[in-house]
Amino acid sequence: MADLDKITLDIIENALRNTRHEMDAVLFRSAMSPVIREQHDGFPMICDPQGRMVVGQFGSYIAGFIQQWRRGIAEGDVFLVSDPYSCRGAISHINDWMVLLPIFYDGELVGWGSQFGHTVDVGGPVSGSLPTDATTIFGEGMRIPPVKLFDRGKLNEDVLDLILTNTRVPVMNYFDLMAIVAACRTADKRVRELCDRFGKRTYLAACEALLDRTYRAMSALIEKNLPTEPVSFEDYVDDDGRGNGPFKMKLTIWREGNVGYFDWTGTDPQAPGPINFLLNEEMFKMFIGVYLIMVFDPQILFNDGFYPLLRVKIPEGSLLQPRFPAALGCRTHALARLFDVLGGALGRQAPELSTAAGYGTSPYLLYNGYDENGEFFHLMEITYGGIPGRPLGDGMDAHSWWPLFENIPTEYLESYYPITVLEYGSLPDSGGAGYHRGGNGVHKVYRFEVDGEIAVHDDRERSQPWGILGGLPGQSSSKLLVRADGKAEPLPSKISQVAVRKGDILIYRTAGGGGWRDPLDRPVEWVLKDVRNGLVSREKAARDYGVIIVEKDGRLAVDQQRTESERARKKRERGDVPIFTFGPEPEPIGVVREWRSTRALTQSDEPAHV
């Protein structure tokens, strides 16, 4: 290994961190679709020659690609894949187009640049390629197995034509794809510059050192924060869009020395509908690392260095490891709920350091049709919800669970699509009460300006995000379609191909986050401020916080005497608070009702404790 001093290592580390953000900047400024350009649904990565992620966000999947690819890797090659089953779940539904670019220096492979982004349509029976009633992946759209998009620098135009012919928005997808490629070329350029500056051997030694440093840091976190005896936690995805649910996700964790074990035994079998999540083991390891790092030591660099410290078991045929050709298009509900389950399991050990549950999904609105000029349009917007109450403070209102996602500006929506946003803000009272309250969900009201078709993807309609240490659950989600003639139609949380007419209005509300710790201990001035800001109503302040707010001299104020009496009464009648506070468990429906009644699960509920 080349000599490597700490200054050089820090320079290379920060150069790679900056390159990772530069890749995002290139992508977001070059892509055409709002879901990438505005909402930032794209994830970059820079890896070492073996495919281990040195900097990035989602964890490396390249090692699996290297093992399976048999047709050679040369300088100038660019690979493309969108089929989850061809890459072991490295991408988890067919709308994500993933590009992999090998980085060569002096004829030697020194790393990989990779990025994937959500393309808004990849064919299939439903615009947007995310049908809520699909039963197999064949009913969702076009699958792209690993192919060479560029072969030794030359664009494979036949492959490109084949791909773009099978989408409703070929121009948009072309620019999105080339923007993803451009982001990967940014990684290629910056890595080669580092090799020019420091030498190839020093650069490779720095990659190894950064991986090793994360290994050592995570080893300490595991020993400090994971229990030595198995602890379990379970939560549910409401339904699968086909009248079946709820689907249990159960995780058991423990450690042996500095090695952490994460066992999904007890998770329900795969769903008939498209909520299945083909969970890539390396990706889940990164999720574990992200959670531990963000909660306990945010200065640790995200990379694959700690992967040898984790052992993961995901039962085949379960919701998180479905058998081909299970449908996967709505997998974001299980993906987001995974973080709630992980947080709940870790909360068994140290609830005072853990968060409550967030809105626990990725709400979508899709709208398509033909505008006033006869041009086809397709809009996909990701909405957000309430972030859970945390040890450090209140949950954020109407915020993304993934930190780098953003909303689509209303001006953008109304400029490029026949839609008007009538209202947009946080939903008062939807966050769970707590010493640190859960964040409020989103309240958004759309008016459709041309006839078309919409789809809704959401969850937490039949369940609530739980609270912790006495914090109360967040409010559930709801969708209401108000026709131009005034007739109101409640919509389920997952539905496709709903015809809308010009003038119809959709009231779209997402779930709030759960509260952290006892709401009766929340400082009264904090509650008063929330009421004055329109985040909490006076009724909720009295009911959940025991804070009586009255109008005094034209201004809201706390009635201190009544508040002290009310809080004392509530504490006396309530008694001790539980570690977790759940809302009502949804009643089983469809095939899940049969599973529950016969207990005919495909795997044991007991984890294999080594």
Cis peptide bond N-terminal to 269, omega within 30: no
**3-state secondary structure string across 8-56:** HHHHHHHHHHHHHHHHHHHHHHHCCCHHHHCCCCEEEEEECCCCCEEEE
Based on C-alpha coordinates, what's the Rg of the chain?
Answer: 25
On whether both 126 and 78 belong to a single domain, the answer is yes
Q: What is the SS3 assignment for 552? A: strand
Considering 503, 518, 533, which residue would you say is the last residue of a domain?
518
**pLDDT 10s digits, 173-215:** 999 999 999 999 999 999 999 999 999 999 999 999 999 999 9
Q: Is the pLDDT at 605 greater than 70, yes or no?
A: no
On whether both 427 and 526 belong to a single domain, the answer is no
411 is a domain residue: yes
On whether both 428 and 564 belong to a single domain, the answer is no
On whether both 16 and 95 belong to a single domain, the answer is yes
Considering 216, 238, 263, which residue would you say is the last residue of a domain?
216
436 is a domain residue: yes
371 is a domain residue: yes
249 is a domain residue: no
332 is a domain residue: no
Q: What is the SS3 assignment for 294? A: helix
On whether both 53 and 196 belong to a single domain, the answer is yes
CB within 8 Å of 418: residues ≥ 6 apart: 369, 371, 372, 377, 448, 449, 450, 452
Residues β-bridged to residue 137: none
Q: What is the SS3 assignment for 78? A: strand
For residues 462 and 480, is the Cβ–Cβ distance under 8 A?
Answer: no
Give me the pLDDT at residue 603, please.
44
C-alpha 463: how far from its chain's center?
18
User: Among 328, 320, 248, which residue's Cα sits nearest to residue 283?
Assistant: 320
CB within 8 Å of 367: residues ≥ 6 apart: 378, 379, 417, 419, 446, 448, 452, 453, 454, 500
Considering 216, 249, 267, which residue would you say is the last residue of a domain?
216
Q: Is the pTM of this model over 0.75?
A: yes
Q: What domain count does the chain have? A: 3
On whether both 202 and 71 belong to a single domain, the answer is yes
Confidence grade of residue 283 (pLDDT, cut at 50, 70, 90): confident
For residues 497 and 126, is the Cβ–Cβ distance under 8 A?
Answer: yes
* Rounded distance between C-alpha atoms, residue 274 and residue 491, angstroms: 18
461 is a domain residue: yes
On whether both 121 and 22 belong to a single domain, the answer is yes
On whether both 437 and 499 belong to a single domain, the answer is yes
**pLDDT 10s digits, 396-429:** 999 998 777 899 999 999 999 999 999 999 999 9
On whether both 513 and 539 belong to a single domain, the answer is no
**pLDDT 10s digits, 69-105:** 888 999 999 999 999 998 888 888 999 999 999 999 9
On whether both 572 and 436 belong to a single domain, the answer is no
203 is a domain residue: yes
230 is a domain residue: no
**pLDDT 10s digits, 286-345:** 888 887 887 777 788 889 999 999 999 999 999 999 999 999 999 999 999 999 999 999
Domain range for residue 379? 356-518
At position 59, the amino acid (one-letter code) is G
On whether both 511 and 556 belong to a single domain, the answer is no
On whether both 496 and 531 belong to a single domain, the answer is no
Give me the pLDDT at residue 601, please.
45
